[in-house]
Chains A and B, each alone.
Chain A
Amino acid sequence: MSAEQSPKIVIVDESPIRAAILEEGLREAGFTGVVHVSEMQGLLARIYALDPDVIVIDLENPSRDVLEQMFQVSRAVRRPIAMFVDQSDAASIQASVEAGVSAYIVDGLKKERIKPILDLCISRFNAFSKLQDELERAKSALEDRKVIDRAKGILMKMKGFTEEEAYVLLRSTAMREKKKIGEIAQSILTASELLK
């Protein structure tokens, strides 16, 4: 490719949502040649066929080891591929590994041209995991509410409490035992199962 054109970027990621987030970010930043590869079978052949300048892969992907093969001297490779991060890039390696992403580039692509791509990947990966955390938290909050509702029901039935009294008892017990209301509610459910 001519180094002045938009480099061709291949995203290797089995998560379609994360890949979409990344692709969108790259396009917004003006990188138009983005291809997403989600099929891991025959990955190397696919990459050689696409002939990218930059490859981005998530660290949860075992196929990262397949990409390491591209560093090796082999006639199968038309162009040598090197890891973007070199000796002087300790901070970049740290940031990318912590974000869960790694990038490989074809030798010869200027560092200044790669840096914005990698920075963007890192920030999008971080945004994605934040999103996932929030989703997890929302899910567990919903789960907690269900458990609390059932525990309240048990207390109302067994003790003749109103819903509010049941909730006050759960909350004060939780505070006294320094636990979450969800945990107290869960122990009520467990106890009532055992006593059935």
Chain B
Amino acid sequence: MTGSLRIGFIPLVDAAALIVAVDKGFTAAEGLDVTLVREVSWSNVRDKLNIGLFDAAHLLAPVAIASSLGIGHVKVPIVAPFNLGVNGNAITVTPALHADLMAHLEGDSTDPMATALALARVVEKRRREGAEPLTFGMTFPFSTHNYQLRFWMAAGGVDPDEDVRLVVLPPPYMVDSLANGLVDAFCVGAPWNSIAVDLGIGHILHFVSDVLVRAAEKVLALRQSWAEKNPDSLAALVRACGRAADFIEQNHAEAAQILAQPDRIGVSPEVLQRTLDGRLKVSPSGTFRESSRYLLVGREGAARPEAIQAAWLYAQMVRWGQIPLSPEALGTAIGVFRPDIYDAAMGTAPPATGAEIGAFAGPPFAADDVIGHLKAFRISRWKS
């Protein structure tokens, strides 16, 4: 068994299971000597995993799929035997855009269809006035944030490629960019939404769990070749992360202390705990909003990488023109998520019912009917 591992991560709350697994000694208890390496960009994490400078990584779920499909970059088959987080992102807007949206809102502000329709009205009004298109920040072309923003606004009739600008921004630059008007809104993971609200420069418009009930966010990613050569180390790592995820769900306060360390996430434990508790300050005036679905680290089977999640992400890549639709590619995408490795390592039986996506718009998603999903949406780059 290979005992010594280098694992890359980006300082975000959904790296929690990995960080806690190492810092609480769960990996050591499994006989693993893990060095965590904090990284500054997803491109770096991907490249260092691909070429073997990392044995494993905290990775955007769609990047693991894109790498395996060879889109956007070099093709390197990746496996994801552990889901580090479900949900956890939020959409934050400037106070000015928030006021504009609320002025055009019909219905409940936590209803994503109501806000998406309000956004369509604001976009239309700005067009009439000859104003610049609104700019939305997201973290990576192959990111849940990109797909979640697109899914939400397109449901209200806003074409993400025609009506607004979507730009990639590294998470640490999100808040500054919102403050100095480079973007009007962003979709990012914790803690950045809370930091914008605390600074008084942003309103959290939506938790992503408003848009999708269950969205696989970050995965524990490994090269397939490494996973095949090191099955025992892999199982040990999955178990350590599983134990850490359980620990986090039961000990938010202690987990927040661990994550707050300067070489880990490096922000105040209080802000981190808000995310874990799912109780977030959503407006600078101090309004709080609570959701039991804000971020799932291990509860409700969140750690099991479900095939349906990989299929949904692949469907978004097709919908937005990043890859053509093909049964082979769908199979490859689904094959990245490895619930079998998870079940074997954890010693648990597969759940009786499959997980759902639970999107607020369109028909229920089924992994075996990607075409049905694509046909359900008018705004799309996919040509049937």
Kindly identify, within residues 17 to 73 of chain A, every residue whose CB is under 8 Å from any CB belonging to chain B: 40-42, 44, 59-69, 71-73
Question: With A69-B141, A85-B74, A87-B74 in contact, do A94 and B51 touch (Cβ < 8 Å)?
Answer: yes
Interface assignment of A98: CB less than 8 Å from any CB of chain B: yes
- A63, B51: Cβ atoms closer than 8 Å: no
- B173, A40: Cβ atoms closer than 8 Å: yes
Interface assignment of A97: CB less than 8 Å from any CB of chain B: yes
Type the 1/0 row for B176-218, where 1 means its CB is closer than 8 Å to any CB of A. Answer: 0100101000000000000000000000000000000000000
Query: How many angstroms from the CA of A88 to the CA of B186 in the assembled complex?
Result: 37
Chain B: minimal CB distance from A62 (Å): 3
Taking a contact as CB atoms closer than 8 A, the residue among A41, A66, A74, A87 that contacts B75 in the complex is A87
- B47, A65: Cβ atoms closer than 8 Å: no
Kindly identify, within residues 18 to 50 of chain B, every residue whose CB is under 8 Å from any CB belonging to chain A: 40-44, 47-48, 50
Query: How many angstroms from the CA of A40 to the CA of B141 in the assembled complex?
Result: 18
- B141, A86: Cβ atoms closer than 8 Å: no
- B41, A69: Cβ atoms closer than 8 Å: no
CB nearest neighbor in B for A89:
B74
Chain A: minimal CB distance from B161 (Å): 8
Taking a contact as CB atoms closer than 8 A, the residue among A41, A72, A93 that contacts B47 in the complex is A93
Interface assignment of A90: CB less than 8 Å from any CB of chain B: yes
Chain B residues lying within 8 Å of A93, measured Cβ to Cβ, are 47, 50-51, 74
Interface assignment of B102: CB less than 8 Å from any CB of chain A: no
- B167, A62: Cβ atoms closer than 8 Å: no
Interface assignment of B94: CB less than 8 Å from any CB of chain A: no
Question: With A90-B51, A97-B48 in contact, do A62 and B173 touch (Cβ < 8 Å)?
Answer: yes
Chain B residues lying within 8 Å of A77, measured Cβ to Cβ, are none
Kindly identify, within residues 36 to 89 of chain B, every residue whose CB is under 8 Å from any CB belonging to chain A: 40-44, 47-48, 50-51, 53, 70, 72-75
Interface assignment of A83: CB less than 8 Å from any CB of chain B: yes
Query: How many angstroms from the CA of A167 to the CA of B171 in the assembled complex?
Result: 52
- A97, B47: Cβ atoms closer than 8 Å: yes
- B72, A68: Cβ atoms closer than 8 Å: yes
Chain B residues lying within 8 Å of A69, measured Cβ to Cβ, are 141, 167-168
Chain A residues lying within 8 Å of B161, measured Cβ to Cβ, are 74
Chain B residues lying within 8 Å of A72, measured Cβ to Cβ, are 72, 141, 322
- B53, A97: Cβ atoms closer than 8 Å: yes
- B75, A65: Cβ atoms closer than 8 Å: no
CB nearest neighbor in B for A67:
B43
- B168, A102: Cβ atoms closer than 8 Å: no
- B43, A102: Cβ atoms closer than 8 Å: yes
Chain A residues lying within 8 Å of B140, measured Cβ to Cβ, are 65, 68
Interface assignment of B92: CB less than 8 Å from any CB of chain A: no
Query: How many angstroms from the CA of A62 to the CA of B44 in the assembled complex?
Result: 9
Kindly identify, within residues 315 to 333 of chain B, every residue whose CB is under 8 Å from any CB belonging to chain A: 321-322
- B141, A71: Cβ atoms closer than 8 Å: yes
Query: How many angstroms from the CA of A62 to the CA of B171 in the assembled complex?
Result: 9
CB nearest neighbor in A for B50:
A93
- B141, A102: Cβ atoms closer than 8 Å: no
Query: How many angstroms from the CA of A63 to the CA of B137 in the assembled complex?
Result: 13
Chain B: minimal CB distance from A20 (Å): 22
Most chain A beta-carbon contacts within 10 A, residue among B70, B73, B322 = B73
- A98, B53: Cβ atoms closer than 8 Å: yes
- A63, B47: Cβ atoms closer than 8 Å: no
Chain A residues lying within 8 Å of B173, measured Cβ to Cβ, are 40, 62-63
CB nearest neighbor in A for B72:
A71
Chain B residues lying within 8 Å of A102, measured Cβ to Cβ, are 43, 47
- A66, B169: Cβ atoms closer than 8 Å: yes
Query: How many angstroms from the CA of A73 to the CA of B74 in the assembled complex?
Result: 17
Chain A: minimal CB distance from B353 (Å): 36
Type the 1/0 row for A95-111, where 1 means its CB is closer than 8 Å to any CB of B. Answer: 00110001000000000
Interface assignment of B170: CB less than 8 Å from any CB of chain A: yes
Query: How many angstroms from the CA of A94 to the CA of B48 in the assembled complex?
Result: 9
Chain A: minimal CB distance from B175 (Å): 13
Interface assignment of B107: CB less than 8 Å from any CB of chain A: no
- B72, A66: Cβ atoms closer than 8 Å: no
Chain A: minimal CB distance from B27 (Å): 25
Interface assignment of B139: CB less than 8 Å from any CB of chain A: yes
8 pairs of residues in contact across A and B, judged by CB atoms under 8 Å = A64-B41, A64-B43, A65-B139, A65-B169, A73-B321, A83-B74, A87-B75, A97-B47
On B, residues with C-beta under 8 Å from A are 40-44, 47-48, 50-51, 53, 70, 72-75, 139-141, 161, 167-173, 177, 180, 182, 321-322, 381
Give the 6 A-B residue pairs with the shortest CB-CB distance, closest first: A62-B170, A69-B168, A64-B41, A62-B40, A64-B43, A65-B41
